[in-house]
Structure 1
């Protein structure tokens, strides 16, 4: 016998169950009593598409009919309510705490205890008891006055390697860490860069491909740096070979 998965929903419960569509409404009610806590004799059943759906597909009010005759399908919801507010049964016993003795403390009594979450946070400086974060408003080193777009520069990429180019951008960017607010965009004399002056779709300046890089200001030296001749170190014989 094929079973169907349905949701059983009541004021106190909501769970998934597998039931036979050939059950009669009367048989279903007796199965639902220990699940919902509502006596079978006072149950009012409605069939809905989902638990949140206010539209009722069918009222299961004929105890002799089967669930299949009401058109029950997979993952529909059977809503169980009580039509007798005075018939308590077991309904509400887990959600009604009006008759439960409670242990209560005033704010002053709670603050005076040593075994509380509050005291744990104080001891470990957590949450609102954590020390203030270091101020991020400390003044940043000022940039050289001659570090401006259009200035010739030499950039120290490593202790052994430096390259020359022209400053094309100086200022904040949308990439990099928050404490790195200023970058220098350089147009290299040679195609040794990583892009054309844009990063992540944001354009900061424009160059030919592979001519642009962004570097930190402390790596940049401004001066009268002419473009280097890549063949300056070749001897005459090598130059002759290059011309052939």
Structure 2
């Protein structure tokens, strides 16, 4: 039968407030692990204080590629001038009194180690398989053979055109899209006039039309430069250093013509009590 004191101690442990997401066992410690051959600091690892130095090396070898026989472990303490070397392999980690957050440094004495000379971090050192043109040409059902067959059927075939056909949508050549984009919103722009009052969507922003036309630095098509009544804009009438009209900072903006309604839009007076 469990003694009363033991039951009380167990109850206090279970009901005690946690200091983190879960209570850490008193027999474990969390250490920052670094390696002499690796530039990046390894993840924080939790170790059992009863683990022997040899067991510690075997666990770490799976993380860094260093053989346990070529490994030397050191505990680094900011308050100590010299590191503590974990020498005797049958000793348990707890013998060296490590604490949470302390650094465990790995020295690799194997010149041919997997971690040496950046082999575990620099992918440029890894030989990559490159297939020759002759070997690729002998393969069947490749993209190259598919493209050649399509080009025989349609000299103007492109992957984009193929996707449009599969999706059932019309295909427009890039040059045609560019030409159409240059005249985009031209019809809507013709209905507007510089100097007239307007209201812009969204948010019903009111102001005065100051510019109509294309704007270098913005996507193709026509734009409307508006001087807002309030600081609701993003510029002072210029785009990337080129000025199209002049106004105070944050009072200017460029919107598409279909978002602008021209008309008798007086400035909104928030102090106008007649609207209450």
What range describes the TM-score normalised by the shorter chain of this pair? 0.3 to 0.5
Max radius of gyration: which structure?
1
TM-score (norm 2): 0.40
Write 1 or 2 for the structure with the bigger share of helix: 2
TM-score (norm 1): 0.44
